[in-house]
Structure 1
Amino acid sequence: MTTVQQPLATRKLGGRRADIWLAAWPLTAVFMLSNAPTPLFVLWQHRIGFATGTLTVVFATYIGGLLLALPVAGVLSDRYGRRTVLFPAVLLALTACLLYATAASVAALLTARLLTGLAVGGTVAAGMAAVADVGGPERRRQASLAGSVAMGTGLATGPLLAGCVAQLLPAPTVTVFVLEAALLVSALLVIRSLPGVRRHGAGDSWLRLPSVPRPNRRDLLLSLAAYMPGMTGTSFLLALGPSVLAELLGTANRIVSGGSAFVMFGASTGVQFLVSRWRPRRLLTTATAATGAGMVLVVLAVHFSSIGLLLTAGVLAGTGQGMGQLGGFSILNSRVPTARLAEANAALSAWGYLFAGILPVCTGYLTDATGMGSSVTLLGLVVAAAAGAGALVVTRLATGCTGQPVPR
């Protein structure tokens, strides 16, 4: 008997391997938008006229929007279904595309970044849980890999696409976001095919700080020990990358700027395939080591004006972020009950992005006051120290989570 394949818009995604990766596409599309403006900030900075400190505030407003979304998105997704959160999130991303394409003021950029953060917050909470839903209990490891790789792919390809389009095609700040909007529309079609509405905990408050069940608190802390410094290291380089490249190379070429971000997040994505079968403890320990080493190389790159050291630092920072992200989400996906999974993902993301948003802003204003060398040295070493502290936490908490040792 021949089976007729239903169109994507009408077929519900099941537990097939291909379905798991397809369900992760909205994560890629939305995360592309999060980094796509990176090579264009220099254009806006020259066109509108604002200092490096303001630039890092514009960059970090995205994280502010994300932190506003996460306390609501995880709870709503667990109670009313993943699509209930994902549809509005993608619509906010489309609105942000319109604002980016027409931006003529700092206020417009701030609003676009805020909406981008809200969209990413909703997508990371509900989207990761949706991928786990499609995979089912028997494919939790693959679902964790697919969701984490989807985010890394979006983070890597967004700035590269934007850099190439902006350098080679006319109307750079418009064309990039027209293309991104088309990708977001395709993500809406995938969201339609996700599993339907589910309801949990009808009596609970829908607005609260995202958290995990009490037995999983050590799991969350263990995950954050590597995830937080890893996210901060990549945000640190992403926010100041164009400025550092301009100072080291004397170039504002947008392909170079986007390409450097692609190298960093490409390493984040690629390494996850290589280590997908590693146990969480090994993932998290290696992640902290890579992040710490990357930050030390950033300091050396600035002091010796070495693009080679800077690119190596980006690869190490991306590797640390990718391993920490995969390890953190894998622990939560394997141990947190499905009824609280989106909220748990939101909790990991919220705490991880909090530090990642504060540090680049401090770096930007410190750069305006003291220069690139001293600011990067000070705050690069702060992230390296945070990675070292994270390694100690992983070592101490790697046993005892939920009453069982983390597999080695």
Structure 2
Amino acid sequence: MVALPVAAPPRAGNPWLAAWPVTAVFVLSNAPTPLYVLWQHRLGFSAGTLTVIFAAYIAGLLAALLVAGRASDRLGRKPVVLPGVLLALVACVLFATATSVLALGIARLLAGIAVGVTVSAGMAAVVDVGGPTRIRAATLAASTAMVFGAGLGPLLAGALSETLPGPTLTIFVVAGVLLLSAAVVVLRLPLRRPLERGAGGWVRVPAVPRAQRRYVALGIAVFAPGLTATSFVLSPGPALLAGVLGTGNRLLAGATAFVMFGAATAVQFAARRLGVRVVLLTGAASALACAAGLLVAVQARWVPAIVVTAVLAGAAQGLGQLGGLTMIGTHVPEQRRAEANALLNFGGYVPAALLPVGAGYLSDFLGIATGATTFAVVLAAASMTAGALVRRHAR
């Protein structure tokens, strides 16, 4: 009788250290945000073109989600996460040397691929390193690493571009150093390869077994409006900020993004002991309040309302992300965890790509106020729908 191979239990590690590659990749993901005003002035492109450049990032991310989660569950985390970090390094070089809209678009595309790998395989690696007894702590580490990096990137870019020579170069040198250190961390993570490689094709829309679909769907319902709100702040949002304040200060733009993602980080620590149903309901309420704040900011042209809107957008994304990842960590088995993460982000990033792009082009034709108002109405409807679904189906 032949004995079947038995997987050795993975050696437990520090999930906060394992989350460092997530932070490093997300520093790069939003670092270009305060620099777009410089590139727009230098290259002469419109607000609509800006949202297309932003959408190239999401296109790369979605393409990666079609492959990365499934590949990670079949091949292991390291063989997928490490190439993602290396692609982020290539994107750094392209951003630092960009002299055309095409170069910016390709850099954003590669950054999006790196992020797609990170939110599926990278976050699953953090939870795996934490082990079955530390799922909630590891989920918190993965989720907060993402939003902290997303906020730190634009803050550093704004500060460095205002105070040092080479405003579109220095931040990407810094980001490159962070990514090199992240590659070292990935190589040293205590992770094992899966014994079963699975069957079927490598490219497909992410999916989970029927028994776990409800949990992922509820996470998407709340995560999508929050992520869409933060995407708006990062793409057409600076034009709204400049229209109200009459300034293109890059440090101010970076600080606004940092405050938004700082709120996304802080709210997750505050909610870490709450039940997942409460977390999701609070996330839906935050997105609804964000829509209301955006309407006030546009109609009253009131600066504090813009800041409040950014904070509420960050809270909505953070809570939706934490709730969705907790659902996955608790209910989805390890061998499907990365693909479930990919599905959560696929469902979140599709509207996060389409709605801000639509608002950007609507703003080109009818003005930023009309574009932002339309976006706020759609966001409010999505948030109320999410809250109703959680109240009905989450336990």
Give your verdict on TM over 0.5. yes
**Structure 1 residue 199: deviation in Å?**
3.8
1:14 positional shift: 4.3
Partner SS, residue 66 of structure 2 = helix
In structure 2, the partner of 1:271 is 267
Tell me, yes or no, if the aligned pair for 1:78 and 1:200 is still in contact at 8 Å: no
- Residue identity over aligned pairs, in percent, reads 52
Q: Secondary structure at the match of 1:276?
A: coil
1:57 & 1:33 partners in 2: Cα distance?
Answer: 18
Which of 145, 157, 180 lines up with 1:150 in the alignment?
145
Matched, 1:28 2:23: yes
Q: CA deviation at 1:299?
A: 1.5
Aligned match of 2:3: none
Q: Which residue does the alignment assign to 1:3?
A: none
**1:167 paired to 2:186:** no
Displacement after TM superposition at 1:59 (Å): 1.0
Give deviations 1:176-216, integer Å, cap 9, x for gaps.
Answer: 10110000000001001121322434323222111111100
Question: Which consecutive unaligned segments of at least 5 residues does structure 1 have?
Answer: 1-12, 399-405
1:118 and 2:113 correspond:
yes
Inter-partner Cα distance in structure 1 for 2:198 and 2:50: 42
Asked if the contact 2:75–2:197 (Cα under 8 Å) also holds between the matched residues in 1, the reply is no
The Cα offsets for residues 269-303 of structure 1, whole Å up to 9 and x where unpaired, read as: 01110110111100000100011111111121122
AA in 2 matched with 1:373: A
Residue 206 of structure 1, aligned match among 202, 226, 230? 202
Deviation at 1:15, TM superposition (A): 2.6
- Aligned mates of 2:108, 2:184 — CA distance in 1: 24
Q: In 2, Cα distance between the equivalents of 1:328 and 1:397?
A: 14
Equivalent residues of 1:94, 1:181 under 8 A apart: yes
- Residue 281 of structure 1: which of 277, 287, 298 is its match? 277
The DSSP-based 3-state class of the residue aligned with 1:196 is coil
Secondary structure of 2:201 counterpart: coil
Residue of structure 1 in register with 2:178 after alignment:
183
State the match for 1:241 in structure 2. Answer: 237
Match of 2:131 among 132, 136, 142: 136
What is the distance in 1 between the residues matched to 2:198 and 2:369?
53
Q: Deviations along 1:345-370, whole A, 9 cap, x unmatched?
A: 00000110000000111011101100
- Aligned counterpart in structure 2 of residue 389 of structure 1, from 380, 385, 389: 385
Equivalent residue runs for 1:9-28 within 5 Å: 14-16=11-13, 19-28=14-23
What TM-score does the superposition give when structure 2 sets the normalisation length? 0.96
Matched to 1:118, the amino acid is: I
Distance 2:109 2:92 in 1: 12
Q: Determine the structure 2 residue equivalent to 1:252.
A: 248
Q: Partners of 2:358 and 2:193 in 1: how far apart?
A: 42
Alpha carbons of structure 1 residues 124 and 199: separation in structure 2 relative to 1, 3 Å? farther
Match of 2:323 in 1: 327
Distance, in Å, in 1 between the alignment partners of 2:198 and 2:139 is: 27
Aligned residues of 2:20 and 2:145 also touching (Cα < 8 A): yes
TM-score, normalization by structure 1: 0.93
Letter in 1 for 2:297: A
| Whole-angstrom CA distance in 1 between matches of 2:199 and 2:363 | 49
Residue type at the aligned position of 2:153? G
- Mapped partners of 2:297, 2:72: distance in 1: 43
2:7 is matched with: none
Q: Which amino acid aligns with 2:301?
A: S
